[in-house]
Amino acid sequence: MDRTAIMKKPLIYGGLAAALLAVPLLTNGYTQYVVNLVTVYVVLGVGLNILLGYAGQFAFANAAFMGIGAYITAILSSQLGLPFWVCIPAAGVVTALIGTACAVPAMRMASIYLALVTFAFAELMVWVFINWKGVTNGSNGIGVSAPDLFGYVFRGDQRLYYLLLPCCLTMLWLASRILKSYIGRSFVIIRESEIVARCNGIDVSRTKMIAFGLSAFFGGVGGALFAYTVGLVLPQSFGLFQLVIHIAIVVLGGMASLAGAIIGALLLTTLPEFLRDFQSLQEVMFGTALVIVAIFMPRGIAGALTRFGILPREMLVRGIVRERRPVATPGRDQDLEPIGVGVTHD
């Protein structure tokens, strides 16, 4: 990094922060609600991307993690009257513990079997939300009271934004720090080859547990923010469609890319709103977009932007990164990087 880049950096971040803070000046209640949803889905998208994109674990449980987080928040805030700074971390921590338990099947099975078992777990959780009426109030759902901080109530979408934005940015910062650490790099090695990871002295089981727990933590916090945003937690919100949106955010935005999660969340939250009144048209467009992007941009939108040099390449190891050299093995292992030189992926 040269000197001008160092000089420029605070300027860019400052401008970005000012722009983000000024968003409510330009919105009305409805558009602000959509913006709030974007911040929520950024957190959720990052959560799934940690597991699916970085650690390569093909797990479908994140809608369930989100649901658990949302229910914990709803119950703690409206029935016990706890403040948000207890509810949100509580939702994250409890969900992370459940997520760590979900790593147990991942030790034994891979790829589609893991997908199926986590998918079954997610559907089972929806059933629990509907049928455990004493706690979840069944299909009627639970209302969530507006969060407040020392008497300042974040009521209304514009005020709520100033709670969601710091949470979202904190989670993003956390994700980027963790992914650049030893743990984040071990995720990538596990994705590329568990055997290579073992040879490098990485405890695969432990790392998988951390990946699941971490992903679930983001899912739980995302669920908590979702609960505050929508104000009413319903079991149907966490079904198959929620899952599809999460996967779409990660795959369309770009696997193993934080920018990808942001792009994906932005697109998949705002675009469907334009076609709200036409369900069939919305479905056809959404489905076509999924198919076309997946076929022509297998690395997602962030991957395509990186290739054209619009987005900088995300690096997990700072320092000299050698040019990519073509790897001879065909098929799935094509993007195997020389590990230890600098793990980059776009």
Partner 1 sequence: MGFMTLLTAGLAHGGLYALVALGLVLIYKTQGIVNWAHGELLMVGAFSGYTAFVLVGLPYPLAFLIAVLAGALLGAVMERVAFRGIVHEHHATLALVAIGFSVIIKGLARIPFGADVYTLPPAVDAGPLRFAGAIVTAQSVLTITISVGIALMLLAIFRYTRTGRQMQATQQNLNGARIVGVNTGRIFSITWALAAAVGAVAGLLAGPTSLLYPDMGSEFLLKGFAAAVLGGFYSVTGAIVGGLLVGVIEMLIGGYISTAFQQVSPFLIIIIVLFVRPHGLFGRRPVERV
- Applying CB under 8 A, the residues found at the interface with partner 1 are 52, 58, 105, 108-109, 111-113, 115-117, 119-121, 123-124, 127, 131, 195, 240, 244, 247-248, 250-252, 255, 279-284, 286-291, 294-295, 298, 331-332
Residue 251: both structure tokens together: 């795959």
Q: From residue 33, give the alpha-carbon distance in Å to each of 29, 54, 159, 226.
A: 6, 30, 11, 11
- Minimum CB distance to partner 1 smaller for 48 or for 233: 48
To the nearest whole angstrom, how small is the minimum distance from the Cβ of residue 2 to partner 1?
A: 36
To the nearest whole angstrom, how small is the minimum distance from the Cβ of residue 105 to partner 1?
A: 7
- Minimum CB distance to partner 1 smaller for 83 or for 287: 287
Distance, CA of 136 to CA of 36 (rounded, Å): 25
Q: Please write down the HEC assignment for all residues of 150-186.
A: CCEECCCHHHHHHHHHHHHHHHHHHHHHHHCCHHHHH
Q: Please, are residues 119 and 102 in contact by the beta-carbon 8 Å criterion?
A: no
- Minimum CB distance to partner 1 smaller for 165 or for 251: 251
- Minimum CB distance to partner 1 smaller for 28 or for 140: 140
Residue 13: both structure tokens together: 């971040």
CB atoms within 10 A of CB 94: 18
To the nearest whole angstrom, how small is the minimum distance from the Cβ of residue 104 to partner 1?
A: 9
Query: Residue 108 — φ and ψ, nearest 5°?
Result: -100, -30
To the nearest whole angstrom, how small is the minimum distance from the Cβ of residue 283 to partner 1?
A: 3
DSSP bridge partners of 149:
152
To the nearest whole angstrom, how small is the minimum distance from the Cβ of residue 328 to partner 1?
A: 15
To the nearest whole angstrom, how small is the minimum distance from the Cβ of residue 287 to partner 1?
A: 3
Distance, CA of 171 to CA of 220 (rounded, Å): 12
- Minimum CB distance to partner 1 smaller for 149 or for 336: 336
Distance, CA of 324 to CA of 172 (rounded, Å): 27
CA nearest to 226, candidates 91, 31, 123: 91
- Minimum CB distance to partner 1 smaller for 68 or for 225: 68
Q: What share of the chain is helix, strand, coil (3-state, %, to 5)?
A: 75, 5, 25
To the nearest whole angstrom, how small is the minimum distance from the Cβ of residue 114 to partner 1?
A: 8
- Minimum CB distance to partner 1 smaller for 116 or for 178: 116
**DSSP 8-state code for residue 146:** P
To the nearest whole angstrom, how small is the minimum distance from the Cβ of residue 41 to partner 1?
A: 16
**DSSP 8-state code for residue 80:** S
